[in-house]
Every structure is written in C-alpha cells, then in structure tokens.
Amino acid sequence: MPDGSYATYPNPQALQTSEIPEVIDQYRQAALNAIQAGFDGIEIHGAHGYLIDQFLKDGINDRTDEYGGSIENRCRFLMQLVREVIVAIGADRVGVRMSPAIDHLDATDSDPLGLGLAVIQGLNKLQIDQGAKLTYLHVTQPRYTAYGQTESGRPGTEDEEAQLLRTWRRSYQGTFICSGGFTRELGIQALAEDGADLVAYGRLFISNPDLVLRFKLNAPLNKYVRKTFYTHDPIVGYTDYPFLSKANKGQATLSRL
C-alpha cells in the first residue's frame, strides 16, 4: 500500500501439475483478447517476481515435477506459454520480458547469468521451430535508479551489470531491449556500447509525459513521486505532472547550442 502497509491476501498455494495447461490457455486467451481490442501486440511478463518468474527462479521454485529442479524444467512453463501465444497471435506481436538478476518480491536465483542464458537459448530455439522471430526480448537489469538510490535488486558494479547485459545481448537472436533505472546518459551509453537495440523507460515516463522531447533537448526532468504509483486518484500522480513550457523548451534548446 502507499503508506507501506500490506493488504490482506490469501495464503498462496502451488499449482497442481494438472492445472498448468489451463493457466497457459488463459495467457493465450488474454493475448487474443488484447489483439481483438485493438492492441498492436503483447508483452509476456516473465519478470519481477510474478508467476512466470516464480517458475524460473530456484529461490522460489521448489517443485518436484517436470516444472521444477533443473533450469530446463524451470523454463518449461515459460516456453510452453510463449509457444501457445505465438500460435494464437503471431510471433511478430509478442515480446517477452525477463529479470534473471532482479530479486523483487524475493524472487532470487543462485545463477542469474545461467538462468538468463537458458531462457534465451529456449527462445532462440522456439523462434527457429516456429520459423518467426519474437518482436523483442526485454531484460530488466538491476542498477542504481535515475535518482541515485537502489530500490530493488542486489546492486552490482556498473561493470558487472554491463557484462551481464552484453552476454545476454550477444546470445539472443533478435531485438534486445534493456531497462532498469536508465538515465538519458546511461541509455545513450548502452546503445553506443552495443548493450541493447533499444532502451525502455517506465518511471521517468510517469512523471514526464513528454520524456522523448525532454531527452531530445536534454531538458530537466520532473521527479516522480513513488507513493502515488499505485493509488487511484484520477489526477494526483497521474495527470498533474507538467509538460515543458515554451520558455523551458527554448532554454533547453539554447543549452544544446
């Protein structure tokens, strides 16, 4: 909750093996629904401690069936799910997100590098089998945020983090997106060093509706207010972040000359 307290929730329980095909089908149907509603594509969220990530990470996955134990088994749920979604809506409408090195919601793994490579190898094979490439692979990398503090994940050195990204980037046969606390400068650096094809921004977009223009002009950014991220106010933290004024646009343009 915004005040730091926790809402009540039922005790979680592991999926029975027999229930997994139904869950995979729910993802397939959700993808179809999104396309029918007019979306260009969907991103399969296999990151940040959510359901797919709980299958992938050995710090959470304690299953003893074909979905637990080895890395291959822990990747099975994701691969089956991605295959079904590709068949339903086409690979060119599907992106996949993973965060092997992020421990958000206590989703830890003893070998983040190896887990990331296993997922990538599985996706590469799936693309070959299906004869089509996914739209992208999106990897969240732990690093200091744009405002200097670490909010999630074990902070590594910049060299360690860059090496992880470079290794995964070299291994994936397709468009590679990175994200995770990137500033304008860090994003430019990642692209210049061939650490990614694209850089994704989330929190900075919340507080800067004209983020692309601000980056283009190298203009100052609005700071986001984290406590408003998950509230339901129709204005505060949602539509009240200001756009650049004409005066600020001119000043930012002059500063680039």
**208-212: which pairs have CB atoms within 8 A and are 24 or more residues apart?**
208/241, 209/241, 209/243, 210/243, 210/244
| Domain assignment present for 248 | no
The DSSP symbol for 111 reads: -
**Residue 238 designated active-site:** no
More confident residue, 166 or 160: 166
In a domain, 160, yes or no: yes
Whether residue 46 lies inside any domain: the answer is yes
Supply the CATH number for residue 34's domain.
3.20.20.70
214-228: average pLDDT: 95
Residue 234 covered by a domain: no
Residue 1 is predicted with a pLDDT of 67
Q: Let me know: does 102 contact 156? Beta carbons within 8 Å.
A: no
* Residue 236 forms part of a structural domain: no
pLDDT at 250 over 90: no
Q: Are 107 and 159 in contact (CB under 8 A)?
A: no
Confidence tier at 157 by pLDDT (50, 70, 90): low
Tell which wins on pLDDT, 213 or 103: 213
Q: Give domain status of residue 7, yes or no.
A: no
Tens digits of residue pLDDT in 171-184: 999 999 999 889 99
With H, G, I as helix, E, B as strand and everything else as coil, classify residue 100: coil
Q: What percent of the chain has pLDDT over 90?
A: 71
Is residue 224 exposed (0-12), middle (13-18) or buried (19+ Cβ within 10 Å)? buried
Note whether residue 230 is domain-resident.
no
pLDDT at 245: 84
In this model, does residue 254 exceed pLDDT 50?
no
Domain count, the chain: 1
pLDDT digits (tens, 9 = 90+) for 91-130: 999 999 999 998 888 899 999 999 999 999 999 999 999 9
pLDDT for 231 equals: 82
State the residue for tokens 């996949």.
96
**Could you tell me the residue range of the domain that residue 49 belongs to?**
17-201
| Candidate list 6, 9, 27, 50, residue with the active-site label | 50
Confidence of residue 143 (pLDDT cuts 50, 70, 90): low
Lowest mean pLDDT among 22-31, 105-114, 140-149, 165-174: 140-149
Q: What's the gap between Cα 255 and its chain centre?
A: 33
The answer on pLDDT for 78 being more than 50 is: yes
Residue 256 has pLDDT above 60, yes or no: no
Cα–Cα distance between 77 and 22 in angstroms, integer? 12
Q: Burial code of 94-116, b = ≥16 C-beta within 10 A, e = fewer?
A: bbbbbbbbbbbeebbbeebeebb
What is the reported pTM?
Answer: 0.88
Query: Residue 33: pLDDT above 90?
Result: yes
Please indicate, yes or no, if residue 63 is contained in any of the structural domains: yes
Q: Residue 120: beta bridge partners?
A: none
In this prediction, residue 105 carries a pLDDT of 82
